[in-house]
């Protein structure tokens, strides 16, 4: 029994409200986007092999997400992969000589870049390049190394090789991974 | 162009009218609670009479889910996780959603048809002229009964699907999954939060279906096409609302 | 259709239970009432007549406060119906009874429970007293023996009589009848006519009967209005109305096929139509 104009107005209000809920839902579903609040600064790192790293993969320090992979390209000179990282301005004191490794979340999870802080006084800034990097582990190479280690040392070579394989597949929060 | 503005205007006006109606319903709820017999009678019509379809559907959904999941899991040697998969999928998603869709089809359409027919035969007008508020006497008890019935039916659906006839029957009896691991894993992985979220979902769906069904029936055009249009609109709009709400709720709960 | 004004100005009704003044109401693009004055005399049977769709039922809904006029006022026993708040309007409605065209009985209740409905909703009378009242109302309409039947088991005429019993359950001051004679066989019609008249006199009611069954309603009415095209065409006692000067009213009252309301829908002359078809073929 309300006037039609009032009904249309309320209906419009409801439509806007529902649209707002949908927008909010999409933001929640895509999780927190890094840098949406404070802004970002960009940093590059060069890897021989990026494994399964993708744009949008996380960049972590001590297990905390501090940025994400913006883009990946090939350096035409060295034929290494140049990864562009977007770091949140919240974390602007990461030492310049930090180490960047490509790690796997869990056993079969997706890959991400894990940073280990160095000791330099200078911090990473817009345009900095991370010099110390460790590429992704490729399963075939590991098996190849394991088999060749087998043929070299008989005694605890097997145990050592299995140990290093197990260690390198663990997430970095555990012990420091041994070099393969 | 004029036709388009008419359609859009009509749609928005309908939304607005539904809002006003919801406010009327909410204000009428306390009064309905003072006459529990009306609500209980409607609870029987809307809830108890929907039991058969919910129980049977729950069994079938649980059985199919168990069959499909078993064949997927056995490839990884993970068939002992059947219970977990079944329980989580049913409790988090299929339970509330499928129950709500069935509820909309069975109880929602019957509510809309009944109210639409009362509108078409002037019974609601007659009540108004007898100084009885039809929203209080007729609409609010039905709304309340539907809102109460939905979570209960969803719970019964989940029980049937996971246990009794569904997953348990197929998984344990037919496919040889160990009963202990079936139920033990469920106990370990279905947490209170899942149950709480499931109840929230089914209650929200219940409110949506109840509101749409009662509104459509109450405001149906007083002709036979009006009643039939109200009934089909109820089922269609309820189904869409359930799926949209499911997306929103899932994103917030599990995103 | 011509709209002659009545030749004599009717004397104002001194004691009117319902007064509508300058009533204007539109339903979408159609104007239903265009500044209409209607008085319903107290204690009498008043007929409202007119062709289908003129808004006779609308008048009842305006009096009962279900619909709001665009302009003008409707007062019931001195109270402006549309200025009341909801609770007060509901209070006022307890003094009105309404008989809908198809009875509008509540289908999930028995005949007894239907008549008891207003008593149970609005009074705190004990069940024994309610039972007595219901039986007396049913006795008045001749259906006391049918009290345990359900509406689906009743014929159309019986439904209306039960609805009438329900309408007088609270002993209202006024009863409104919406097309009570439509579609009834002669016996049912006779029963209803007798009931309307006798209840009006026995209970001191004011009755408004909306109908286009001219002979039936004029035979029991004390006063009559003929409404068409949003205006009152003629008003007065049945005798005065029958002698109305307007040709349209005469065609309406006598049920003549042709007159101011033409038999033929507007069309070009017949020979033109026939010739045109011949040529195109």
For the segment A131-156, the average pLDDT, to the nearest whole number, is 77
- A176 at B interface, C-beta within 8 A: no
A164 neighbors A137 (Cβ within 8 angstroms): no
In chain B, whose CA is at the least distance from the CA of A22?
B248
For the segment C50-79, the average pLDDT, to the nearest whole number, is 85
Q: Closest CB to B12: pick one of A12, A28, A29.
A: A12
CB within 8 Å: A7 and B13: yes
Q: What is the pLDDT of residues C47-58, one digit of tens each?
A: 998 887 777 888
Q: Token pair of B75, please?
A: 């490839």
Q: What is the pLDDT of residues C82-130, one digit of tens each?
A: 888 888 888 888 899 999 988 889 998 999 999 999 999 899 899 999 9
For the segment A148-173, the average pLDDT, to the nearest whole number, is 74
pLDDT higher for A36 or B106?
B106
**For residue B24, how many other CB atoms are within 10 A of its CB?**
15
Whether the per-residue pLDDT at B6 is higher than 70: the answer is yes
Nearest chain A CA: its distance from B157 CA (Å): 28
CB-facing half-sphere around the CA of C97: CA atoms within 13 A? 28
What pLDDT, on the 0 to 100 scale, is given for residue C234?
Answer: 87
Nearest chain C CA: its distance from B127 CA (Å): 9
Whether the per-residue pLDDT at C132 is higher than 90: the answer is yes
Which residues on adjacent β-strands are paired with residue B65? none
- B121 at C interface, C-beta within 8 A: yes
The C-alpha R_g of chain C, in whole angstroms, comes to 21
Nearest chain C CA: its distance from B237 CA (Å): 27
In chain A, whose CA is at the least distance from the CA of B255?
A29
Report the C-alpha gap between B61 and B57 in whole angstroms. Answer: 6
C55 neighbors C38 (Cβ within 8 angstroms): no
Which of A147-151, B112-116, C255-259 has maximum average pLDDT?
Answer: B112-116
Report the C-alpha gap between C108 and C89 in whole angstroms. Answer: 27
How many H helices and E strands in chain B? 13, 0
- B34 at C interface, C-beta within 8 A: no
Q: Which residues contact residue A76 at a Cβ distance below 8 angstroms, ignoring those fewer than 6 apart?
A: none
Q: Closest CB to A6: pick one of B11, B15, B16.
A: B16
Predicted model pTM: 0.77
pLDDT higher for B213 or C280?
B213
Q: What is the pLDDT of residues A8-40, one digit of tens each?
A: 888 999 999 999 988 888 877 665 555 455 677
Residues in chain C: 281
The DSSP secondary-structure symbol of C97 reads E
Q: What is the pLDDT of residues C214-266, one digit of tens each?
A: 888 889 999 999 888 788 888 888 888 888 878 888 888 888 877 777 778 88
ipTM of the complex: 0.79
Owner of token pair 């001051």: C173
For the segment C173-197, the average pLDDT, to the nearest whole number, is 90
B-contacting chains (≥3 CB pairs under 8 Å): A, C
CA-based nearest residue to C64, from C122, C20, C116, C123? C20
Report the C-alpha gap between B196 and B200 in whole angstroms. Answer: 6
Q: Token pair of C153, please?
A: 């088991």
- Classify C124 as helix, strand or coil: coil
- Classify C42 as helix, strand or coil: coil
What pLDDT, on the 0 to 100 scale, is given for residue C2?
Answer: 42
The chain-wide mean pLDDT, for chain C, equals 85
A-contacting chains (≥3 CB pairs under 8 Å): B
Element (H, E) at C153: none
Report the C-alpha gap between C235 and C237 in whole angstroms. Answer: 7
Nearest chain B CA: its distance from C277 CA (Å): 36
Owner of token pair 């709820």: B29
The DSSP secondary-structure symbol of C146 reads G
Ordered DSSP codes for A36-49: TTT-EEEEEEEES-
Whether the per-residue pLDDT at A177 is higher than 50: the answer is no
Nearest chain C CA: its distance from B118 CA (Å): 8
pLDDT band at C278 (very low <50, low <70, confident <90, very high): low
The DSSP secondary-structure symbol of C47 reads E
pLDDT band at B226 (very low <50, low <70, confident <90, very high): very high
Helix-, strand-, coil-residue percentages of chain C, each rounded to 5? 40, 20, 40
Report the C-alpha gap between B136 and B34 in whole angstroms. Answer: 11
- B132 at C interface, C-beta within 8 A: yes
Q: What is the pLDDT of residues B28-72, one digit of tens each?
A: 999 888 888 889 999 999 999 999 999 999 999 988 888 888 888
B183 neighbors B231 (Cβ within 8 angstroms): no
CB within 8 Å: B12 and A28: no
For the segment B215-244, the average pLDDT, to the nearest whole number, is 94
Quote the percentage of chain C above a pLDDT of 70: 94
Own/partner contacts of B239-242, CB < 8 Å, gap of 24 or more, are B239/B101, B239/B104, B241/B208, B241/B209, B241/B212, B242/B97, B242/B100, B242/B101, B242/B104, B242/B205, B242/B208, B242/B209
Tell me whether strands A132-134 and C45-49 are parallel, antiparallel or unpaired.
unpaired
In chain C, whose CA is at the least distance from the CA of B41?
C108
In angstroms, the Cα distances linking C202 to A40, B255, C142, C198, C222 are 91, 74, 15, 6, 15
């Amino acid at each position: 029994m309300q006037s039609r104009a009032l009904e249309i107005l309320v209906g419009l209000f409801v439509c806007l409200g529902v649209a707002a809920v949908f927008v909010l839902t999409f933001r929640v579903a895509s999780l927190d986007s890094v840098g949406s609040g404070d802004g970002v600064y960009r940093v590059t790192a060069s890897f021989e092999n990026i494994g399964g790293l993708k744009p949008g993969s996380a960049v972590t320090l001590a297990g905390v997400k501090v940025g994400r992979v913006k883009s990946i390209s090939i350096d035409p000179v060295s034929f290494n992969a140049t990864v562009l990282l977007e770091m949140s301005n919240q974390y602007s004191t990461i030492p310049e000589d930090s180490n960047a490794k490509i790690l796997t979340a869990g056993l079969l999870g997706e890959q991400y870049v894990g940073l280990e802080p160095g000791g330099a006084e200078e911090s990473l800034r817009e345009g900095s390049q991370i010099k110390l990097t460790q590429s992704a582990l490729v399963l075939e190479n590991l098996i190849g190394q394991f088999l060749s280690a087998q043929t070299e040392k008989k005694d605890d070579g097997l145990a050592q090789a299995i140990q290093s394989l197990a260690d390198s597949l663990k997430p970095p929060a555990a012990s420091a991974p041994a070099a393969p | 162009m004029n036709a388009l503005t008419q359609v859009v205007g009509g749609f928005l006006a309908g939304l607005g009218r539904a809002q006003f109606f919801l406010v009327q319903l909410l204000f009428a709820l306390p009064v309905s609670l003072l006459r529990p017999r009306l609500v209980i009678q409607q609870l029987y019509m809307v809830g108890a009479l929907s039991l058969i379809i919910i129980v049977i559907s729950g069994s079938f959904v649980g059985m199919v889910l168990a069959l499909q999941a078993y064949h997927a899991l056995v490839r990884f040697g993970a068939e002992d996780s059947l219970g977990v998969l079944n329980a989580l999928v049913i409790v988090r998603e299929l339970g509330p959603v499928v129950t709500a869709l069935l509820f909309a089809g069975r109880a929602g359409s019957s509510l809309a048809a009944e109210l639409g027919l009362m509108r078409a035969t002037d019974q609601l007008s007659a009540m108004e002229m007898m100084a009885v508020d039809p929203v209080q006497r007729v609409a609010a008890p039905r709304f309340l009964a539907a809102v109460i019935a939905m979570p209960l039916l969803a719970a019964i659906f989940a029980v049937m699907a996971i246990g009794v006839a569904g997953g348990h029957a197929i998984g344990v009896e037919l496919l040889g999954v160990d009963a202990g691991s079936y139920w033990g894993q469920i106990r370990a992985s279905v947490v209170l939060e899942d149950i709480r979220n499931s109840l929230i979902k089914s209650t929200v769906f219940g409110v949506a279906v109840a509101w749409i069904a009662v509104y459509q029936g109450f405001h149906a055009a007083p002709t036979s096409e009006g009643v039939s249009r109200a009934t089909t609109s109820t089922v269609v709009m309820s189904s869409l609302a359930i799926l949209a709400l499911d997306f929103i709720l899932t994103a917030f709960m599990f995103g | 259709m011509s709209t002659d004004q009545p030749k004599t100005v009717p004397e104002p009704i001194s004691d009117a239970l319902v007064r509508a003044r300058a009533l204007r109401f539109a339903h979408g693009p159609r104007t239903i009432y265009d500044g209409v004055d209607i008085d319903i005399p107290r204690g009498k049977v008043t007929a409202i007549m007119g062709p289908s769709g003129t808004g006779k039922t609308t008048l009842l809904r305006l009096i009962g406060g279900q619909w709001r006029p665009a302009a003008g006022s409707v007062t019931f026993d001195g109270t402006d119906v549309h200025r009341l708040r909801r609770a007060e309007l509901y209070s006022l409605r307890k003094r009105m009874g309404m008989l809908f065209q198809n009875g509008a009985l509540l289908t999930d209740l028995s005949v007894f429970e239907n008549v008891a409905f207003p008593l149970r909703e609005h009074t705190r009378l004990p069940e024994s007293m309610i039972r007595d009242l219901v039986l007396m109302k049913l006795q008045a309409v001749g259906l006391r023996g049918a009290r345990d039947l359900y509406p689906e088991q009743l014929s159309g005429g019986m439904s209306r009589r039960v609805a009438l019993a329900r309408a007088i359950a609270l002993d209202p001051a006024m009863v409104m009848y919406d097309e009570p004679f439509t579609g009834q066989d002669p016996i049912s019609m006779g029963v209803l006519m007798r009931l309307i008249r006798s209840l009006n006199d026995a209970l001191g009611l004011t009755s408004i009967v909306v109908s286009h069954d001219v002979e039936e309603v004029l035979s029991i009415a004390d006063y009559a209005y003929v409404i068409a095209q949003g205006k009152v065409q003629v008003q007065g006692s049945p005798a005065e109305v029958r002698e109305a000067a307007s040709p349209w009213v005469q065609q309406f009252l006598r049920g003549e096929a042709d007159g101011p309301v033409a038999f033929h829908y507007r069309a070009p002359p017949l020979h033109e139509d026939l010739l045109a078809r011949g040529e195109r073929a």
